Structure 1
Amino acid sequence: MAKICRIFANGDASMPQLDSFAQSEFDSLPSALAAAVAEAEMPDLGEGAVAESLTELLKNAEVSDSGLRFPSGETVDLSRSQASLCLAGFWLLAGNLERSHSFSQELPCRDGSFWHGIMHRREGDFGNAKYWFRKVGNHPVFEQLADLTGGTYEDPFDFIDACSSAVRKKGGGAYQSCMITQWAEWQALMVHCITG
């Protein structure tokens, strides 16, 4: 995992930092959203902790013709589908799998299926996760993840199996490795969705 160089802020394992490949895209987001993402805990392999600041921000966000709009008036300039894809991912980071699912299941595209597969993997429905990753097909993020993770994520199906095994063993190095890889996956897919 040498290529993922900035995983944790200040040595705190619960607070991941954005890696350099994602930082510039997140710097262009509204400041409240960028701060809420920075405050969120490392996504667990399961549902995980609720990110309160991110949850508060997202529950009032709206998908509009101009993008993803927040009550503060700030807008992320995206297409409607990009905005919905981003909400699916942000709700995963916020620890609300159900809200993420409400967006991803309505997105009949490979990016929507990708978020949908991650959501089912995190809820422990590994067979259903594989179903959704089969719908993803070949995706540019897979090659990026293989490079970023030093080969830990060469294919989503092997990664699902690794997560399943780590969850059954409840902790240890494999669990932490899967969490770190999952964090790289979240960043890569989110950047892909933002940049469209």
Structure 2
Amino acid sequence: MVNLAEFQQLIAQHRLCPNTLPKALQALFYDKKGDWEKAHEIVQNASDNDSGWVHAYLHRKEGDLSNARYWYRRSNQPEFSGGLNQEWEEIAACLLQNVSSFG
């Protein structure tokens, strides 16, 4: 299992995300790099719940709360009420539980 600190270190050390990671984590990688557009592009057409959850977070970050609410419902996740950094960390930590390595 990969932990949050290892994921954050990967983000700090690499410009490009390993394409072996699930789409939801790839989107979180690029969001943390400051590339909201690329992050959104990655999850925009994905149909899995994890990508939908990240999609909700991205629209919340954008300020489009009605769209965010739609994606929270679609991904079966509660609407987050804390800070954006806190939400990013919570989503990442949860999704990383299913990742065995970055390679």
Question: Which TM-score applies when normalising by structure 1?
Answer: 0.42
Aligned counterpart, 1:8:
none
Q: 1:117 to 1:193 in 2, by over 3 A?
A: farther
Aligned counterpart, 2:9:
34
Whole-angstrom distance in 1 between the partners of 2:98 and 2:68: 19
Aligned partner (choices 91, 105, 116) of residue 55 of structure 2: 116
Deviations along 1:117-168, one digit per CA (max 9) or x if unpaired, are 0110000001100000000115xxxxxxxxxxxxxxxx325x2xx6xxxxxx
Aligned counterpart, 2:4:
22
1:68-87 pair list within 5 angstroms = 78=21, 82=22, 84-87=23-26
Larger radius of gyration: 1
Aligned counterpart, 1:93:
32
Deviations along 1:74-109, one digit per CA (max 9) or x if unpaired, are xxxx5xxx2x22211101111211100110112101
Whole-angstrom distance in 1 between the partners of 2:99 and 2:18: 16
Q: After the TM superposition, which segments of 4 or more aligned residues of structure 1 sit over 6 Å from their partners?
A: none
Is 1:191 aligned to 2:96, yes or no? yes
Bigger RCO (CA 8 Å, 6+ sep): 2
Unaligned runs of 5+ in 1: 1-20, 38-52, 68-77, 139-154, 163-177
Question: Which TM-score applies when normalising by structure 2?
Answer: 0.73
Report how many residues are paired. Answer: 98
Deviation of residue 189 (structure 1)? 3.8
**RMSD after superposition:** 2.8
**What secondary structure sits across from 1:194 in the alignment?**
coil
Whole-angstrom distance in 2 between the partners of 1:136 and 1:189: 14
Q: 1:35 to 1:89 in 2, by over 3 A?
A: closer
Q: 1:184 to 1:110 in 2, by over 3 A?
A: same
Deviation of residue 180 (structure 1)? 4.9
Aligned-partner residue type, residue 31 of structure 2: L
Unaligned runs of 5+ in 2: none
Whole-angstrom distance in 1 between the partners of 2:68 and 2:51: 12
Aligned partner (choices 19, 42, 45) of residue 103 of structure 1: 42
Aligned counterpart, 1:156:
79
| Structure with more of its chain in strand, by fraction | 1
Whole-angstrom distance in 1 between the partners of 2:58 and 2:47: 15
